[in-house]
Structure 1
C-alpha cells in the first residue's frame, strides 16, 4: 500500500512539474511575440512554439502562437513590399492553425487568425482576390464575432480593414480610428481565460490612436 501511495504521489508530482514547465516555456515565448521585428525572428519563434506543441500533443495554444508568429512574419513581409512571399507564408501559418483548430474547435481566437491568413493571401493581388480571399476573411471574422462578440481583437481587425480600405470601396480613416478606440476600450475590460490565452493587439490600437490628428 505504501508503494502504491508513493507511486501515485510521484505521478502527480511529475504531472505537476510537466505542467509548470509547459507554462514557463509558453510564458517566456509569449512575452516576446510582440517584440519580434524581422521575418527571421518570427520564423524562429514559430518553430519554438511548434516544438512545444509537438511535445505536449494536447495543447492548442502552442500551435496557435506558431500560426500567429507566422502571420506576423507575413505582415512584416507585406510592409516590406514582398507580396510574392505571402502565399507561402500564409500556407505555413495555415498548417499551424489547422493543428490548433483540431485541438480547440469553435474558437473565436482561431477564427481571428483564419481571417488574418485570408487577408494575407488577398494582399498578393487585392483586385483579383477580394471576392475570394476577402470574402473568406470577412466570413471567418463574422463567425468569431458570433462566438465572442466583445473580443477586442475582432474589433481591431475591423478597424484595420476600415482604416486601410479606400473610401470609394467603403473605407474610412475616421471610422477606422473610432473602431481602434472601441477596441482599446474593450481591452480595458476583456479578460483572457488563462494567462496563456491570447492578449495581443492593444499596442496596435494605441499606435493608431496616437497618430490621430
Structure 2
C-alpha cells in the first residue's frame, strides 16, 4: 500500500474512532442524566445535561432537557424571582437548541410550554402578553409535524384551557386529545433519547373530558 494512502486510511480510521467514542460518551452521559432524573435527583440530572451540552455543542437534546426541567420546576413555583430565574434559564437553552436544530416541532412545543408557564403563574398579566404567541407556536409546530403526538396534544390542551377560561365548549378539543392518544400509541422516537413524553398526561385530560 502506498505510504500516503496508508496515512490517509489511518487518519480516516482515527476520525471515525473519535466520532464513535464521542457518540458513545454522549449516549453514556444522556443515559446517566435520565437515570438521575428518574431517581428524582433533578438538580444532578440538570447538571449532567449541562455538562453534556458543553461537551457536545452540536447536539440539541441536552439543551432541550435543561429547558424542560426548568419548565417543570416552575409549575408550582410561587416565588416570582425563583420562577423568573427558572424560565429565563429554560428560554436560554431553547434559544441555544434552536440554533442547532431549526424548524424543530419538539423545540417549538417546548417554547410554547415555557410561555404557558408564565400564563399559568399570572394569567391576567401574561395571558394577554403570550396567549396569541402560544397559539401561533402550536400552529407552526402542526405545520411542521402534524403526526407528532406532543404537537397535537399541546395544541388541544392549550385551546381547551382557553375555552374553559372564556366558558366555551371544550368538546371539540376532547376529540383532539383522543386523536393525540392514538398518535402516542404508534409514535416511535428517533432515538431512546428523543422526546417521548406526554401520553399519561393526555390520558388524564381525556379522562377528565368524560367526567
Common fold: TM-score over 0.5: yes
- TM-score under structure 2 normalisation? 0.83
Measured against aligned partners, the alpha-carbon deviations of 1:76-135 in whole angstroms (never above 9, x if no partner) come to x25xxx162433321110011111011111111111011111111122320222121112
The answer on 1:72 being equivalent to 2:72 is yes
User: What is the CA distance between 1:171 and its match in structure 2?
Assistant: 5.0
Identify unmatched segments of 5+ residues in structure 1: none
Q: Any residues of structure 2 matched to 1:118-129 within 5 Å, and which?
A: 118-129=115-126
Are the counterparts in 2 of residues 161 and 171 from structure 1 also a CA contact under 8 Å?
Answer: no
2:103 is aligned to 106
- Report the aligned-residue RMSD: 2.6
Q: Evaluate the alpha carbon distance shift between residue 25 and residue 123 of structure 1 in structure 2; reply closer, same or farther with a 3 A threshold.
A: same
Bigger mean CA offset, 88-97 vs 17-26:
17-26
Are the counterparts in 1 of residues 105 and 145 from structure 2 also a CA contact under 8 Å?
Answer: yes
2:155 is aligned to 158
Alignment match of 1:9 (pick from 9, 13, 31): 13
The answer on 1:148 being equivalent to 2:145 is yes
State the aligned residue count.
Answer: 205
The answer on 1:27 being equivalent to 2:31 is yes
Bigger mean CA offset, 171-180 vs 94-103:
171-180
User: What is the CA distance between 1:172 and its match in structure 2?
Assistant: 4.9
User: What is the CA distance between 1:200 and its match in structure 2?
Assistant: 1.1
Measured against aligned partners, the alpha-carbon deviations of 1:186-212 in whole angstroms (never above 9, x if no partner) come to 112233233322111112123334554
The answer on 1:187 being equivalent to 2:174 is no
